[in-house]
Amino acid sequence: MGEVSEKRPEYTPKPMSSTTTYALGAVAVVVIVLVVLAVFRFGRDEAAVRNDGYGPVHDPAVLVVLQMDSSILLGKPDAKKTIDLYEDPLCPGCGNVERIYGQELAQAVDEGKLALRYHLVNFLDEQSASKDYSTRAVAANLCVAEASSGPTYSKFHTELFTTKRPSEGGDDHDNAALADIAAAAGAPESVKLCIARGAKVDTARATAKSALDALGKALGGDAATPAVFDGDTKVDVNKEDWVATLTP
């Protein structure tokens, strides 16, 4: 992987769920209303969970691979299709995509219909109490992906983005707590130590920046999460059947 510049991107990433990012002086109210209307599905706690009861990936034949660019590939080697998902661990919209569609995606992975390539970003660091939660959570994902099974990573990722996801502006998990979440998902002691010691934090900071740059380029310079791509085509995750349309 080439050298990653530490210069801040020229665009300002905007999470789908955060109206504060869209406050632009006199037009703030209008913009916020439009944003709320555009992403209302991700703010509705009552949205129906797809495949409720299935749980995370559980087929031991599913592998997790930490790739050269530190994206995380979850799936069977002969999966029919690979899709790309961009997420920030603190992003409420990302959490709702995982909550609503995560189990449906897990079944598609178990059945070999899909493989999931996660690109984790960290532009919400400043919205966390520690000011670096997203980066540390990305690092924890790297630790788990490097030395755990596919089902273990899936369980950890699910927990981190749903029941264990902190709120923007609220308290977040320190490294010891992140390590405990990984251990509860079945990760070995070496992974727990990797997370607790912050062994991959510097790597996470650099690769999250690269992923954010790639997302900004794919979206025409305006990065936002959650974002899902089928090849070069952005998937509309506001459509209830988007997973089904990818797995005919």
Q: Quick one: 51 exposed, middle or buried, by C-beta within 10 A (0-12, 13-18, 19+)?
A: middle
Q: Tokens for 128? A: 């966390």
The Cα 145–Cα 83 span in angstroms is: 17
pLDDT at 18: 38
Whether residue 226 has a cis bond before it, omega within 30° of 0: yes
Q: Taking every pair of C-alpha atoms in the chain, what is the biggest distance, in angstroms?
A: 55
Q: Could you tell me the CA-to-CA distances from 72 to 20, 24, 84, 118, 179 in Å, in that order?
A: 30, 35, 10, 5, 18
pLDDT, tens digit, 9 for 90 and up, residues 172-230:
999 999 999 999 999 999 999 999 999 999 999 999 999 999 999 999 888 899 999 99
**134 in Cβ contact with 125 (< 8 Å):** yes
Give the residue-averaged pLDDT of 80-109: 97
Alpha-carbon gap, residue 216 to 134, rounded angstroms = 18
Q: Would you place residue 169 in the very low, low, confident or very high pLDDT band (cuts 50, 70, 90)?
A: confident
In eight-state DSSP terms, residue 115 is E
Q: Could you state, in order of their start, the residue ranges of all structural domains in the chain? A: 19-246
Amino acid letter, 247: T
Q: Pairing mode, if any, of strands 115-120 and 72-75?
A: antiparallel
State the pLDDT confidence band at 46, using cuts at 50, 70 and 90: low
The residue with greater pLDDT, 79 or 23, is 79
Task: Please give the average per-residue pLDDT across 97-114, as a whole number.
Answer: 98
Q: Which pLDDT does position 223 carry in this prediction?
A: 84
Burial annotation 197-214 (CB, 10 A radius, 16+ → b, else e): ebbbbebbbbbbbbbbbb
d(CA 91, CA 160): 11
- In this prediction, residue 42 carries a pLDDT of 47
247 pLDDT band, cuts 50/70/90, is: very high
pLDDT of residue 112: 98
Tally of CA atoms within 13 A in the half-sphere of 49 that contains its CB: 14
Distance of CA 23 to the CA centre of its chain: 25
Average pLDDT, the chain: 85
Residue 170 has a pLDDT of 86
Is 90 exceeded by the pLDDT of residue 77? yes
Report pLDDT digits (tens) over 106-164.
999 999 999 999 999 999 999 999 999 999 999 999 999 999 999 999 999 999 999 99
Length of the chain counted residue by residue:
248
Region for 94 from its dihedrals, namely left if φ exceeds 0, alpha if ψ lies in -120 to 50, beta otherwise: alpha
Class of domain 19-246: alpha beta
Give backbone dihedrals phi and psi of 129, rounded to 5 degrees, phi first. Answer: -60, -35
